[in-house]
Structures are given as structure tokens and as C-alpha cells.
């Protein structure tokens, strides 16, 4: 309906313009106005009749291509002009020579108009065909196919939307493939990492139950090994449960004022036994200007424990340090955010350059695998959980490492309260 209203408005404007030009330039007498009325009304009536045909649903699609439909439309417009000319020459009683000349000029102008219309129509048709080609390629499974989206018209915008849609489909396919690989890896690795301690526990329990081991010292050693394997299994299950909770969006953060000195001191105290046993100097430092930070203490404590534990596992007779300090304020449109950085640094074995981009990926393994030693018995979950918890605080994690010289992991937290 809106198109018809616009058509009638444009047609009415054209009639008013034509009548105004006749009045200003020709200044006809009163008895000549009916003649000019017929001259103006004839093309308008033909245009209305043509529009009535055009209103039939999808009539132009019967041509098989946009190019032919637009060329036909140009020819129809030229035909209306030609009929108007014939009526004009008949009513104006001009000489046959002048009538033929006017007809030739109009036919030539119509031919030029149709040629130009064909050029424009074919260009539009090529744009639509390009989108159809890309859509066919996507249907066949090629999600890398893209349509040419140069230009500013509707076809270019359609191509741009199509390309965005295809890019999103490609991203979703890649994510699905990555998740499928992770699922297969999870099944394989969980099977292995559960089977190994379970087999060890079963063998030792059977030995104790059958009386194979009876010496008190040997019994104590077996019980200690069973305890260690049980703790490893418990840690693995807890890590898997926490990852599942994070993935399901069930992580509940309850930020509150917290003193980082307490969190870092607790981590140092918890890990000091492991550090002394391996001959590692474990230290912690909080700059005086850090003050109180708003965060979820139990989750950041988990991050610190995971990072320090990972550093201790890959450092022998070296140093591991934890340092908290303020960063310059970060200005945003909404507010000015205070940033706190916590750095865990070690002098251990370091990480190979090709492994650095992947160490925070869950289940990632390398040879030698830094993330699998002492980290959920090889599952590579501790660093992935640490990153997820930091990002839940709207923070970020970064890593720098030199093979054979050590690693530094920093995570930055906003303190907006």
C-alpha cells in the first residue's frame, strides 16, 4: 500500500509540474486547456494502467531475471512516451515530416534509455547472482564463501548481512568442532586420569586386605599412597564440577571488601610445605597503596592457589613470588576504574613459545606438558579455572615465559566499588 501511495504522489507531482510549465512558458488560451489536459492525462492514465498490472504479485519475477524485468520496465516507459507523442502529433496537426522526425528522436532516446537501463539492470542482477552463488556454496558446506558487499545500496547491505551471518555460522561450526574435540579428549583423559589412581588404590587395598603387606612401616606407606591418590581423585572431580558450574552460568560471585594481604598470606602458608620440600623460596608482597579490594575472596583464593601450585610444580630449587600492586586508573565513559594486578612469578623451567598461547585452554597438553604436571593429575584444568574465575570478575590474565628461565602470570582485577 505504501508503494502505491508514493507512486500516486510522484505522479501527481509530475502532473502539477507539467501543468506549471505549460502555464508559465506557453501561456495557452482558455480554449486550449482541454487539449493540454488530454496531453498530460494520456501518459498519466497509461502509467496508472501499467501500475495496476505491476501490482499483481511477483509479475516481474516471471521474466526469469531482474535484468530482463528492468529492461522491460524501461521499454514500457518508452512505450508510454511514444503513445503520448503520437497523440500529441495528431492533436497538434503538425506536418508529417515533423511527426516522423519527432518519432525518430523519441525512438532513438528510448533505445539509449533501454541500453543504459540494461547496463544498470545487469549490474544489479550480477550483485544478486553473486549473493546466490555464495548462498549455494554455503548450502554445499563451504562456510568460508562470501558475497561481494561493496557499495551502499540494498544489495550491498544484503550481501553484508549475508556475510555476517555466514561468518557467525562459521564461528559456530568451529566452536562446535572445538567442543566436540574437547568432549572426546575429556572422555579419553578422564578415563585415563581416573583409571590410574583407581587402579593404584585397588591394588594397594587388595594387598592390605589379603595380608600381603603386614609390616607396620609398609602398611603406613601403602595408606599414605592411598590417601594421596584419593586426594588427587577428589581434586579432579572438584575441578570438573567447577568447570561444569562455570560453563552452565551457575557461578555466583559475592564481591566484598577484602585485604589482599590476607589472601596472599593464606596461599603462602598453604603452599609453604610443598615449597620447603622442593627447596623453593616462596615469598609474597603487597604494595602499601593496594588497600582494600572488592572481590569474591573464595574465588580469588582459588586463583592464587592454582597459580602458585602450578608455579611450584615447575620450579626446582628456585624462587616463586607473589606480588600485588595498583595499576594506573583506567578511564571509561561510565566511570574511572581502579585496577589491581597480582603477579605470580617463578624461576622454573618455562614454557615453549608454541605452547604459550594455549596454556589457559582446558585439557591442553604439550610435550613436555607444563600444564599437566601436578595440575589435576594431568588434566590441564587449574589454569583454565583460574582464567574463568578472573574473567568472571571482569578481569584479564596474561602470561610471559622464557624457556629455561621461568614464567610470570599476571591477572588484573577492576575495583569499581
Q: pLDDT digits over 285-322, tens only?
A: 999 988 888 899 989 998 999 899 889 988 988 999 99
Using 50, 70 and 90 to split pLDDT, how confident is the model at 380?
low
**CA 229 centroid distance within chain:** 42
Question: Do the domains spanning 157-247 and 256-415 agree at the CATH topology level?
Answer: no
Q: CB within 8 A of 148, min separation 6: which ones?
A: 127, 130, 159
Do residues 342 and 305 lie in contact, with contact meaning Cβ atoms separated by under 8 Å?
A: no
* Identity of the highest mean pLDDT range in 64-73, 100-109, 231-240, 360-369: 231-240
Q: Say if residues 285 and 322 touch (Cβ distance below 8 Å).
A: yes
Choose among 172, 193, 240, 203: nearest CA to 384. 240
**CA-to-CA separations, 312 to 101, 214, 272, in angstroms, rounded:** 99, 35, 10
pLDDT at 34 over 80: no
- Burial of 22 (C-beta count, 10 Å sphere; 0-12/13-18/19+): middle
Return the number of other C-beta atoms located less than 10 Å from residue 202's C-beta: 12
- Confidence band, pLDDT 50/70/90 cuts, at residue 359: confident
Which pLDDT does position 53 carry in this prediction? Answer: 62
Q: Is the pLDDT of residue 165 over 80?
A: yes
Per-residue confidence band for 55, with pLDDT thresholds at 50, 70 and 90: low
Flag whether pLDDT at 334 surpasses 50. Answer: no
Q: How far apart are CA 135 and CA 15, in angstroms?
A: 44
Domain boundaries, the chain: 2-156, 157-247, 256-415
**Interatomic CA distance for residues 126 and 163, integer angstroms:** 17
d(CA 291, CA 49): 82
Q: What angle do CA 104, 107, 113 make, to 5 degrees?
A: 140
By the 8 A CB rule, do 305 and 322 touch? no
Task: State the CB neighbour count (10 A cutoff) for residue 414.
Answer: 20
The listed CATH number (1.10.600.10, 3.40.190.290, 1.10.287.130, 3.10.20.30) that belongs to domain 157-247: 1.10.287.130
Among 137-141, 186-190, 362-366, 367-371, whose mean pLDDT is lowest?
A: 367-371
Query: Which residues is 281 bridged to in the sheet?
Result: 319
Q: Mean pLDDT over residues 132-145, rounded?
A: 89
pLDDT digits (tens, 9 = 90+) for 88-109: 766 665 677 777 777 777 777 7
Work out the percent of the chain whose per-residue pLDDT is above 70. Answer: 82
pLDDT of residue 301: 92
pLDDT category of residue 374 using cuts at 50, 70 and 90: very low
Which three-class secondary structure state does DSSP give residue 303?
helix
CB atoms inside a 10 Å sphere around CB 324: 20
Separation between Cα atoms, residue 198 and residue 177, nearest integer Å = 31
CA distance 296 to 311: 23
Residue 410 and residue 319: Cα distance in Å, rounded? 16
**Angle in degrees, CA 391, 387, 382, rounded to 5:** 150
Q: How confident is the model at residue 238 (pLDDT cuts 50, 70, 90)?
A: confident
Q: What is the pLDDT of residue 143?
A: 87
What was the pLDDT predicted at 332?
A: 45
Q: What is the pTM of this model?
A: 0.52
CA–CA gap between residue 337 and residue 329 (Å, rounded) = 6
Q: Which numeric CATH code is attached to 256-415?
A: 3.30.565.10
How far from 413 is each of 98, 326, 390, 401, CA to CA, in Å?
87, 10, 7, 21
Residue 281: other Cβ atoms inside 10 A = 13
- With a cut of 60, say whether residue 416 has pLDDT above it: no
- pLDDT tens figures, 7-27: 678 778 877 887 787 678 777
Distance CA 178, CA 184 (A): 10
DSSP 26: I
Question: Burial letters for 26-42: b for 16+ Cβ neighbours within 10 Å, e otherwise?
Answer: eeeeeeeeeebeebbeb
Amino acid at each position: 500500500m505504501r508503494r502505491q501511495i508514493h507512486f500516486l504522489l510522484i505522479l501527481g507531482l509530475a502532473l502539477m509540474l507539467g501543468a506549471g510549465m505549460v502555464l508559465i512558458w506557453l501561456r495557452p488560451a482558455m480554449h486550449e486547456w482541454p487539449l493540454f489536459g488530454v496531453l498530460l492525462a494520456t501518459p498519466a492514465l497509461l502509467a496508472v494502467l501499467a501500475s495496476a498490472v505491476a501490482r499483481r504479485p511477483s509479475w516481474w519475477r516471471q521474466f526469469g531475471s531482474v535484468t530482463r524485468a528492468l529492461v522491460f520496465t524501461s521499454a514500457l516507459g518508452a512505450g508510454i512516451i511514444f503513445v503520448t507523442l503520437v497523440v500529441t502529433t495528431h492533436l497538434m496537426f503538425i506536418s508529417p515530416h515533423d511527426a516522423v522526425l519527432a518519432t525518430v528522436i523519441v525512438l532513438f532516446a528510448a533505445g539509449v534509455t533501454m541500453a543504459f537501463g540494461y547496463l544498470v539492470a545487469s549490474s544489479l542482477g550480477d550483485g544478486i547472482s553473486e549473493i546466490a552463488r555464495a548462498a549455494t556454496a554455503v548450502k554445499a558446506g563451504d562456510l568460508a564463501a562470501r558475497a561481494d558487499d561493496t557499495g551502499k545500496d540494498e544489495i550491498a547491505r544484503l550481501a553484508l548481512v549475508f556475510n555476517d551471518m555466514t561468518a557467525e555460522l562459521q564461528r559456530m561450526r568451529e566452536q562446535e568442532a572445538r567442543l566436540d574435540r574437547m568432549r572426546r579428549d575429556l572422555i579419553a583423559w578422564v578415563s585415563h586420569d581416573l583409571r590410574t589412581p583407581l587402579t593404584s588404590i585397588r591394588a594397594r587395598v587388595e594387598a592390605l586386605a589379603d595380608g600381603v603387606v603386614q609390616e607396620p612401616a609398609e602398611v603406613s606407606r601403602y595408606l599414605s599412597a592411598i590417601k594421596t591418590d584419593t586426594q588427587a581423585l577428589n581434586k579432579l572431580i572438584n575441578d570438573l564440577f567447577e568447570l561444569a558450574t562455570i560453563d552452565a552460568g551457575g557461578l555466583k560471585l559475592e564481591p566484598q571488601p577484602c585485604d589482599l594481604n590476607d589472601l596472599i598470606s593464606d596461599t603462602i602458608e598453604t603452599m609453604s610445605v610443598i615449597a620447603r620440600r622442593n627447596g623453593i623460596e616462596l615469598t609474597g608482597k603487597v604494595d602499601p597503596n593496594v588497600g582494600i579490594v572488592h572481590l569474591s575472596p573464595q574465588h580469588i583464593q582459588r586463583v592464587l592457589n592454582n597459580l602458585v601450585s602450578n608455579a611450584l610444580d615447575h620450579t626446582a630449587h628456585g624462587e616463586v613470588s607473589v606480588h600485588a600492586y595498583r595499576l594506573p586508573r583506567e578511564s571509561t565513559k561510565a566511570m574511572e576504574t581502579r585496577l589491581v594486578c597480582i603477579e605470580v612469578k617463578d624461576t622454573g623451567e618455562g614454557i615453549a613459545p608454541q605452547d604459550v598461547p594455549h596454556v589457559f585452554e582446558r585439557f591442553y597438553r604439550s610435550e613436555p606438558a607444563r600444564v599437566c604436571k601436578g595440575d589435576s593429575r594431568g588434566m590441564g584444568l587449574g589454569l583454565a579455572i583460574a582464567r574463568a574465575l578472573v574473567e568472571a570478575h571482569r578481569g584479564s590474565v596474561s602470561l610471559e615465559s622464557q624457556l629455561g628461565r621461568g614464567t610470570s602470570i599476571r591477572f588484573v582485577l577492576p575495583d569499581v566499588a
